[in-house]
Homo-oligomer: A and B are copies of this chain.
Amino acid sequence: MKKKRPTLQDIADKVGATKMTVSRCLRAPDTVSEGLRERIFKAAEQVGYIPNRAPDLLSRATSHSIGVLVPSLTNQVFADVIVGIEAYTEPAGYYLMLSHYGYSPALEERSLASLLSYNVDGVILSDHNHTPRSLRMLETAGIPVVEIMDTHRQPLQQSVGYDNVKAAFDMVSAMIRRGRRQVVYLAVRLDERTQQREQGYRQAMEAHGLIPTTLHSTQRSSYSVGAALLEQVVINHPDTDGIFCTNDDVAVGAYFECQRRGIDVPGQMAIAGFHGHDIGQAMTPRLASVITPRQAIGKAAAKALLARIQGEPPAADIIDMGYTIETGGTL
């Protein structure tokens, strides 16, 4: 007894034409005679016609949609990137299919299979670490792929982002230049970018003859992890005079803990974060941070992807969007 949703045929029946004519009328109204046109539009309105992409998707294997895989949606970094992507895809008439995989390559594989099963025309990936089957699927799908948030490694096809190693190196160098000697790196989780930042940190420390120290937490990033890591710094590395945090959440959490413990920032302790989130920029003192152009990265990635979907050759393998070192008030 359930009514199924109206089709072109339903409209055609109402006006005494074929669905082909209706199809034409809806897509290019002036190829249809005026009287009929009006009746078709009225009928479409009456039955409440909703376009259906399924046939298109099946017959042309083009969906006018692109897949976006991010590790986490609650991570502000990727939320910003998505906004940037959509700023480009939406006006272009492309639909975004989002998935997140919680930093797990196995889940990424599942999500990717799902996206591809919907015949997305291209995908944007946020990691370099893919399962063999993921790589295989991308290959046989034969669609353009853009990787984001890293320009350090050779991309599958094309990447848009910034150099995490260099950014970390620059920030830590700035800290050292300002007289810090015992700078500790605070890391959470073990994703690739965390490690790349550690690499940059190490390079900077070693370039100045200083000994690098990293404190890891296996938990996911949060303010409280930042606080907990700072506690560890105080207990296990009491002569630390600066911390470089893998992101702003950790940095802000550490800052709060400094406040609670009466540690003067930046007097006794310099703090630097990564990404330049609102919270760090709004607090006083302003948090030193590597400001990454997340929305711009999303936009550029979408632009590069759509260009290739439309058949243009890739402009460049690696598109570096750079970053800005904000020294704020905590160095």
Q: Are B113 and A4 in contact (CB under 8 A)?
A: no
Number of copies: 2
Q: Known A83-B73, A279-B223, A282-B253; judge A61-B113 contact (CB<8 A).
A: no
Q: Mark A56-98, 1 if CB is under 8 A from B, else 0.
A: 0110010001000000011010011011001000000001111
Specify which of A51, A58, A116, A227 lies most central, judged by the most chain B CB atoms within 10 Å of its CB.
A58
Chain B residues closer than 8 Å to A73, beta-carbon distance? 73, 79, 82-83
Interface size class of A (residues with CB under 8 A): 35 or more
Chain B proximity of A44: nearest CB distance (Å)? 11
Residues of B within 8 A of A156 (CB): none
In the complex the two chains form, is B79's CB within 8 Å of A116's CB?
no
Q: How far is the CB of A131 from chain B (nearest CB, A)?
A: 13
Is A53 in contact with B118, judged by CB distance below 8 angstroms?
A: yes
CB neighbours of A211 from chain B (8 A): none
Chain B positions within 8 Å of A74 at CB level:
76, 79-80, 83
19 additional A-B pairs beyond A73-B82, A96-B99, A279-B279, beta carbons within 8 Å, are: A5-B61, A47-B140, A50-B141, A51-B113, A52-B117, A54-B118, A55-B58, A73-B83, A74-B79, A86-B100, A95-B118, A96-B98, A98-B98, A118-B118, A224-B278, A227-B282, A256-B283, A259-B284, A260-B284
